[in-house]
Amino acid sequence: DIQMTQSPSSLSASVGDRVTITCRASQSISSYLNWYQQKPGKAPNLLIYAAFSLQSGVPSRFSGSGSGTDFTLTISSLQPEDFATYYCQQSYSTPRAFGQGTKLEIK
């Protein structure tokens, strides 16, 4: 089974900051990598699919990059509504493993 590892596990930042979250797969997954945002008490929400494709309705300040084993999610200018937990997930094979999550908090 493929394992997904995110870093950091938590991150403090300020409104307007540029933030990058990293996700690493235990083996190559090509570009089969998705990113989700989850706010407390809510279901996850798809942000990025296929490593860099922005889901409809997601602000353009979110972007994804990477292929193979190393991926990044970047938020170019943090907004108050972006403080949440972010998860990567591979869709290369079953089981569709998630990363452990990165909690983005207000500094």
87 part of the interface to other proteins, by CB under 8 A: yes
Binding mask 37-56 for other proteins (x = CB under 8 A): -x----xxxx--xx--x-x-
Q: What are phi and psi of 68, to 5 degrees?
A: 80, -105
Residue from 8, 12, 39, 96 in contact with other proteins (CB under 8 A): 96
The conformation of residue 99, written as its DSSP 8-state character, comes to P
Output the DSSP codes for 62-93.
Answer: EEEEEETTEEEEEESS--GGG-SEEEEEE-SS
Size of residue set near other proteins by CB under 8 A: 24
Residue 52 has a CB neighbour count (10 Å cut-off) of 17
101 part of the interface to other proteins, by CB under 8 A: yes
Residues that bind other proteins (CB under 8 A): 31-32, 34, 36, 38, 43-46, 49-50, 53, 55, 87, 89, 91, 94-101
